[in-house]
Every structure is written in C-alpha cells, then in structure tokens.
Amino acid sequence: MNAFTASTSGRLTLPILRQVEVRLSDAERARLSGVAERITADEPTLASFDVFGPDVVVGLSDAPALVFEDHFGIKLFSYKHEAAFRYRLLLLAGDGDQVLIGGHRDLAFEQYCRDVVGLGHPTIVTVPPLSRRRLLSLAERCATDQRAFKMVLDFARRQGQVNLIPYIGTGSAWKLAGQISAATGARVQVAAPPPRLTQRVNNKLWFDQRVIEVLGKEARPPNYHAFGPAAVAGRIAAIARRSERVVVKIPDSAGSAGNIVLDSATVRRFPVSQVRRQILSLLHSRGWRSEFPLLVGVWDCAVLSSPSVQVWVPLADQGLPVIEGIFEQLVRGVEGEFIGATTSQLPEQLRQQIASEAMQFAFLFQKLGYFGRCSLDAIVVGSDWGSAAVRWIECNGRWGGTSIPMTLMNRLTGDWTRREIMIVQRQDTKARRYQLPTVLDRLGNLLYRHDGDGTGVIVTNPGQLGESAALNLLLLGHDATHVQEQLLRVQELFQDGLHRSGDASAVFH
C-alpha cells in the first residue's frame, strides 16, 4: 500500500491511499490506449475545457478550496431533495476553505463537525434554495447572487489560486470556475473531469459499451439499447420470456432512481401494446421526459454480492489510478436502493479480479482525460462463490455515499482500514422525524469524538432531519463485533422511527 495526499495544506486534506495493488502489463496499457484513441477520434472534444478560460484547469493543489454538492445536472433529481444533501461535502473541507450550500445554514451541524468531529472551521456561503420557480443549479445561483458571489470572488482574489471541488463536474460547475477566474485573475483548478466526459462516464449506456470494449459482452448483464417506445416494449417482452425479471433504466439518472424492475410473469400476461402503455406511464411518473435511448436488460436475481470499487484517478503524469477500497453495498427493495455500505468480504480471488477490472476502466478513463473521484459498481452472480461471475453495472463519476465517508475516515484515522466501518444512509418520509440535537442527544456516549479512542458513530449529514426521516451515519469500531454492537444500540435508540416504516431490518442488517 502506498499513500499520497491530493491536497497537502492544513486547510483541506484529501488523503488517497492505495489499498489494492494492481499492475497493468504493457500489452494491457497499449490495448486500453487504443480504445481511448478510438473514442477520442469519434468525439474529439470529449475532454475539452478551454472554453472556460486559460487559467481554468483540471487538477488539485494545496490551495484552499471552494467545495459544494450540486445534483441539479442529474436526471430525475427533484428540487425538493437539495436540502437533504447540501452539507455532505462539508466533510471534505477544513480551515480556510469555503463550502457553498443552498438554503439556510444548519449551525448545529456546523458546530458538531467543528467541535465534536474536529474537521476545522471552513466558511459557509449560502445562496437561495433551489425551487420550482428558480430552476438554476447551485453554481448558477452563486454566480447570480451578489452577496454570495462577492464572498467567493474575494476569497479567490486573496488566494490567487483556488481549488473548486464539486460533487460532480457538470457544465455549470466548470462555468463557475471560469467566472471566478475571469473576474479575479485567479488560477482555478477543478477537481473533476471535464463536463462532457463527466456526462459520458455517468451514462449507463455509454458505460455499457465501454464494458464490452474493455472486457467483453459477458462482463455485463444482457442489456439492450432501445430507441423508441415500440423497441422498449418489444425488448421487455422478449426478455420476460427467458428471465425472471426485467429492468428498464433511464441511463443518465443516479443510482436506483431511474430503475424500473418488472416481474416477468406479470409481463407475460399482457400484450405488447399494453406493456408499452404501462412502461411509458411508469417512466413518466418518475419524471422521465420521453428521452431515448433507454437501457432494457435482465435484472439478475441470483446475486451473491454488490461490490462498489472506490477509485481516485490522478492526472496521467501522476501515476496509475488508485484502488482505495472495495465495499459491499447495502440495498433494499426490488430496485436496489442504496442504503449503506460496509467493508467487502469477497473471496481473495474475486477481490483481485474486481480490482483488476476496475483498474482497466479507470486507466481507460484516465487516458480520455478523466481526473478525480470515481466509483464502479458491479454484481457477483451465481449459485455459489466457485461458479460466481462478475458483471459490471455502472460508473459513478462523482462523489457519493461511500466515497465521502471513506475519505472522511482517511482524514480522521490516516487509513480507513484501521477501523471496521459501516455506512448507514436512510431516508424515509413515512418514518419518524428527528432534529439533529435529538439525534446527538440520543447517541450520547456512542458518538465519535476527535479526542476519543477513534471509534464511535458520526452523523455524516443532517439531511432533512426536521422535514423527513433521515439518518446518515458512519459507524467506526475496533472490529466487526464492535460495529455490530454499535449497530444494535443505534437500532434500539431509533427503533420508534425505524419500525414505523416497517423495514428496519432492511436498513440494519
């Protein structure tokens, strides 16, 4: 294992630690470079960002940072959800940094992060919340809010060089970098891939094609690209004749939000014309706007594991991508909603295979011009570990529910593997609502404290604790038994809210 720090200042530290060593042969590098060249030839501006100005570049230095989480560019994300995530990236910031949020400040959470967790004291910059009447990204609202933009520009002028660390490298995030640089003359380094490449890697159809090119058709579930309503219905009917379940995916949505899983036995009872009407109705109910193509495929049922590989992709001259960890995703419901993660316990041979294949994707992305955080999700299918096969599902070219807590762990402990961990991400409008002071009071001695023994429970995001039920926690223990004890205790403390929704066992298992 080796380690380096993406930013070495006392203000912001993103420690990147290689947990799985993977080598690429010269032949593999040449083959993947050839794939990258073909992709670039088809789309020459894939990694272009020069339109944002000469002093806006990809990268990350030891300068202070402007950090923010903005989901506006992700399909199906509702303006109502912004408050649930506005503070997550505060966990990456420290003294001297700025954190941009939409809406009102949560002073209790800021104080908790500063005094209990020990994360420093960044400056919080607020802009009006996203609303139905003001459908602008967080970055756009910053640039059009006189008070907020002045704070950001003054910050950039004082420093002369700043990092911009967005949740995802959308065009609006890059545009904000350009506006800051143009107004101040500061050099702005964006810790994310260029916007067009960001869009591609997060698209399930695009990634599906990359899986075929890098590993072959057998390395992903049987998937099809459907370019119209009739094609979607026809594919659903055909797959339903030979598999237990069918999935339709909106390719540029996040996680399970754009997944519709259908029971094949039910599908077979109806004519294709009715299947077509029903699936279009379901898609539109999710917020879909009749955009094609869609992905239609087999929804594997014999799933042994749902690993997620956390990767950091440095600039090409800084070395190979870094495999920071392989986690087991905890999901609930037919459509696989992410509710947390824990350390993967895969057999070593499978672990190495997954790390090796993830490295190939990451190396390809690096050759295309990718930089920054990335996670790659797969499933392991089969009747037992001896016959198991790895199938790659999607790429998340952004920060997320696993990578943020993992990086926080590296900040707090120097190496997340020094502790047994479990990530809990729970939101349910039917469950009891909790204010942050109530959560902290109930946790009491269970809470992690920066001057403690390095274990305990961390509240990673206040979410909408006062508006809908949300528990976003990171459990740190000396070992697996210790984490399980914490988990049981948390379940007892919040049982009144968890059981009201009827699925506490699905969240805590």
pLDDT digits (tens, 9 = 90+) for 265-322: 999 999 999 999 999 999 988 888 889 999 999 987 788 999 999 999 999 999 999 9
pLDDT at res. 190: 98
DSSP annotation of 101 reads E
pLDDT at res. 496: 58
pLDDT at res. 471: 75
In whole angstroms, give the CA distance from residue 469 to residue 426. Answer: 8
The domain locations on the chain are: 40-193, 222-298, 303-507
pLDDT at res. 504: 28
Q: Mean pLDDT, to the nearest integer, of 437-453?
A: 93
HSE, CB side, 13 Å, CA atoms: give it for residue 361: 33
Q: With bands split at pLDDT 50, 70 and 90, how would you rate the model's confidence at 453? A: very high
Query: 128, 131, 141, 124: which is closest to 176 by C-alpha?
Result: 141
Pick the CATH number of 303-507 from 3.50.50.60, 3.30.470.20, 3.40.50.1950, 3.90.1150.220: 3.30.470.20
Helix axis angle for 26-42 and 204-215, nearest 10°, is: 140
Percentage of residues in the chain having pLDDT higher than 90: 73
Question: Considering only 7-21, 162-176, 286-300, which range has the smallest mean pLDDT?
Answer: 7-21
The larger pLDDT score, comparing residue 383 to residue 365, is at: 365
**Helices marked H in 168-260:** 171-184, 195-201, 204-215, 229-240
Average pLDDT score over the chain: 88
Q: Mean pLDDT, to the nearest integer, of 462-476?
A: 68
Determine the number of helices (DSSP H) and then strands (DSSP E) in the chain. Answer: 17, 21
The larger pLDDT score, comparing residue 428 to residue 200, is at: 200
Q: With bands split at pLDDT 50, 70 and 90, how would you rate the model's confidence at 7? A: very low
Cβ distance 228 to 236 under 8 Å?
no
Question: Considering only 189-193, 249-253, 366-370, 484-488, which range has the smallest mean pLDDT?
Answer: 249-253
Q: With bands split at pLDDT 50, 70 and 90, how would you rate the model's confidence at 463? A: low
Q: With bands split at pLDDT 50, 70 and 90, how would you rate the model's confidence at 167? A: very high
Q: With bands split at pLDDT 50, 70 and 90, how would you rate the model's confidence at 432? A: low
Largest CA distance in the chain: 67
Across-strand partners of 249? Answer: 259, 295
pLDDT digits (tens, 9 = 90+) for 375-399: 999 999 998 998 899 999 999 999 9
Task: List, in order, residues 6 or more apart from 412 with CB less than 8 Å away.
Answer: 117, 118, 448, 450, 454
pTM across the whole model: 0.91
pLDDT at res. 360: 98
Q: Is the pLDDT of residue 410 over 90?
A: yes
Q: Mean pLDDT, to the nearest integer, of 240-255?
A: 87
Q: Is the pLDDT of residue 430 over 70?
A: no
pLDDT at res. 78: 67
Q: With bands split at pLDDT 50, 70 and 90, how would you rate the model's confidence at 503? A: very low
Q: Is the pLDDT of residue 333 over 70?
A: no
pLDDT digits (tens, 9 = 90+) for 112-142: 999 999 999 999 999 998 887 778 999 999 9
**Ramachandran sector of residue 338 (left: φ over 0; alpha: ψ -120 to 50; beta: rest):** beta
Across-strand partners of 420? Answer: 477
**Domain 222-298 architecture:** 2-Layer Sandwich (3.30)
3-class DSSP assignment, residue 309:
strand
HSE, CB side, 13 Å, CA atoms: give it for residue 184: 24
